[in-house]
Amino acid sequence: MKTKNTESALFEIASTQGGYFTAFQAMNAGLSNMNHLYHVRAGNWIREWRGIYRLVRFPLQEDAQYSLWGVWSMNRKGIPQGVYSHETALSLFELSDVQPEKLHMTVPRGYRRHSEIPKVLHLHHSIIEPFEYEERNGYRVTKPSRTIVDLVRAMTVSPEFIKQAVEQAIDKGYLTHAQFRALKEMKRVGPRLKEIVGDDR
């Protein structure tokens, strides 16, 4: 049964996630899963993906697609398991001119989904610590320092884009000189990073 309390609870959840929410979150807010189809047909919700909905009355945000797939990656506790990374993280921080064809997301090792992986996503598997990402509108994105590490290790983009990203991250204050020096001392990262960027910054 839908009440003002359940409606408010659902809106509170969705408002921190770009208007999106999972079927499980709707149930936790007090809405029976038997009524989900009704809310879609009544024009209250839009079904965006299997088990994911968006409130019609919630304004669509500029970063809506990131919120959608961030919610898709959530576990049953409503905690995102995926973190946007690699080229997508560069794009979200507006570092370099790289334009990824897919959304790059890093998920924990052993991450499994019972449904198909959306074709728009390219999944990487690794551990990302809380201090290595920032929380946004229902999704997470790796900070520039971790993003650079991932890109140098993967080398899936041109070195010129990595160099541009480093320079812009430093210029915009996302990456301190101390952090950059630390990156240059990292195993498997430092030597290659020095080749790409040079050792004069």
State the pairing for strand pair 121-125/103-107: parallel
**Kind of pairing, strands 140-142 and 133-135?**
antiparallel
Given this model, what pLDDT does residue 115 score?
78
- Locate the domains of the chain by residue range: 4-55, 75-197
Q: Comparing 114 with 92, which gets the higher pLDDT?
A: 92
How remote is the C-alpha of 139 from its chain's centroid? 4
Contact assessment for residue 84 and residue 142, using Cβ atoms and an 8 Å cutoff:
yes
Q: What pLDDT, in 10s, does the model give residues 128-152?
A: 999 999 999 999 999 999 999 999 9
For residue 64, report the phi and psi dihedrals to the nearest 5 degrees. Answer: -55, -40
- Supply the mean pLDDT for the chain: 93
With a cut of 80, say whether residue 1 has pLDDT above it. no
Q: Which residues contact 50 (CB under 8 A, 6 or more apart)?
A: 115
What digits encode the pLDDT tens for the residues 67-98?
999 999 998 888 999 999 999 999 999 998 88
Distance CA 5, CA 146 (A): 41
Report the first-to-last Cα separation within the chain, whole angstroms.
62
Average pLDDT (95-121) is 91
Residue 35: pLDDT band (50, 70, 90) is confident
Find where tokens 């960027």 sit. Answer: 197
- Work out the percent of the chain whose per-residue pLDDT is above 90: 83
